[in-house]
Structure formats: C-alpha cells, structure tokens
Chain A
Amino acid sequence: AQSVAQPEDQVNVAEGNPLTVKCTYSVSGNPYLFWYVQYPNRGLQFLLKYITGDNLVKGSYGFEAEFNKSQTSFHLKKPSALVSDSALYFCAVRDHQAGTALIFGKGTTLSVSS
C-alpha cells in the first residue's frame, strides 16, 4: 500500500529564515507526490506536485520541493519564511489502486515567528 510519513508534528522557524518540512514516501511503482496547505477551518490548497521530470519542483507562494528517489523523500522548502506561512502542511501520494485517491501524511504544523 502507498503511504507517506511526516516525521515532525511541528516545525518552528523565524521569519526570514529558510524552512524545510520533511516527507518520506513508500509506494509501489512511480510515485506521484503532492504538497497541500491548510489554514484553520479551511479546505486544502494545492502547493505543488511531482509527477515526472525535474527533481526540483517549484510551486505556489515561493515553495519548492525536491524529489529524491534514493532517499524516497519529497521535502518541502522555502528560502525565506513569512509569518503568513504558518499553517498545517500535508504531504500526499497518489494511490494507484484506490480510485487514484490521495493518501495523506499526518500533517506538520509550521509556525513562523516574527
């Protein structure tokens, strides 16, 4: 079965510093990987995805992620964090069996302090 792991419940960074939110995956076949962000009591907003091609994927709001096949990782990064980036971040993998549903990690709360 496909799965993703987000090893950190919370990540704290100071505004202006780089941030990394970690994600590792376990899939059979080619991984289709996604990052979403959720603000309180809101739906999920798409940030970026990796399907194929360049290992460095650029997405919305200045975020990027690097696909690393040997380490089975897809970490989310941003060079300079903003207070407004504070939210809950989800990594997800597409399940090729379950109607192509997304299978999510447990989420990582990002807190950016001013």
Chain B
Amino acid sequence: SQTIHQWPATLVQPVGSPLSLECTVEGTSNPNLYWYRQAAGRGLQLLFYSVGIGQISSEVPQNLSASRPQDRQFILSSKKLLLSDSGFYLCAWSGLGNYGYTFGSGTRLTVV
C-alpha cells in the first residue's frame, strides 16, 4: 500500500537557524510531490511542486527552498528562518493518471 511519511511532527527553531523538513513516499514510483504551508489554521498555500527527481517548481518567492534527491523523497529547507516562516507544513503526493492526492500528517513549525 502507498504511504507518506513526514517528520518531524513539531519543531521549534530560533530565528536565523536552518531548517530541513523531510517527506518520503512508499509504495509508488515517480509520484508528483508537493509542499504546502498553512498559516494560522487557514488556507493552504502551494509552495513547491516536483514532477521528477531534481525538478522543482516554486509557486511563490520566499525564504524557503525544496529539493528532490530521490524519486520518493522531498525536502523543504531554509538557510535562515524568519518569524514569518512559522506555520503548518504539509507534504502531499499524487500519481500519474491518478486523481487522488494523499497528504502527510504535517509539521508544526514555530520560529521564535
């Protein structure tokens, strides 16, 4: 069966520190991968998507970056966190020709 793992579940980081959030998918190959951010318990904003290894598209300019070093691994990073980076980060995947989307359990990031 297909599963998606996202970690850590919660993270408290000081301003100016680096960030690395990881997302992995099991049970499928060549998924489309997505990173979303949810601020203040409201709308979901698409940050990055990837349709293949090393292929990253950014939807909004920001302090964050993404990488896909392996087919089923998607990493969200920052060199220096800002207060405004606080939020709930969700990873998701979808398959080619598959109209389903599966979301990870999310990471609550608090920048202090």
B51 at the interface (CB under 8 A from A): yes
Contact with B99, one of A32, A101, A106, A107 (Cβ below 8 angstroms): A32
Query: How far is A101 from B92 in the complex, measured between Cα atoms in Å?
Result: 9
- Mark out the residues of chain A between 58 and 90 whose CB falls within 8 Å of any chain B CB in the assembled complex: 88, 90
A49 at the interface (CB under 8 A from B): yes
Contacts of A49 on B, CB cut-off 8 Å?
99-100
* A100 nearest CB across to chain B (Å): 6
Q: Is the interface of A mostly helix, strand, loop or mixed?
A: loop
Number of residues on chain A facing chain B (CB within 8 A): 24
Contacts of A44 on B, CB cut-off 8 Å?
44, 90, 92, 103
Known contacts: A94-B99, A105-B43, A106-B42. The answer to whether A41 contacts B88 by CB under 8 A is yes
Q: Which residue of A lies closest to B52 (CB)?
A: A99
Contact with B105, one of A43, A51, A99, A101 (Cβ below 8 angstroms): A43
Contact A101 B34 (CB under 8 A): yes
* B45 nearest CB across to chain A (Å): 8
Contact B106 A43 (CB under 8 A): yes
Query: How far is A4 from B71 in the complex, measured between Cα atoms in Å?
Result: 30
A104 at the interface (CB under 8 A from B): yes
A102 at the interface (CB under 8 A from B): yes
* B40 nearest CB across to chain A (Å): 11
Contact B106 A41 (CB under 8 A): yes
Contact A41 B49 (CB under 8 A): no
Q: Which residue of B lies closest to A9 (CB)?
A: B42
Q: Which residues of B are at the interface with A, using a C-beta cutoff of 8 A? A: 6, 32, 34, 36, 41-44, 46, 49-51, 57, 59, 88, 90, 92, 94, 99-106, 108
**Listed A/B pairs (11) with beta-carbon separation below 8 Å:** A41-B88, A41-B106, A41-B108, A42-B106, A43-B6, A49-B99, A98-B59, A99-B50, A103-B46, A106-B42, A107-B44
| List of 8 A-B pairs having minimum Cβ-Cβ separation, nearest first | A99-B49, A106-B43, A104-B44, A43-B103, A44-B103, A43-B105, A101-B49, A99-B51
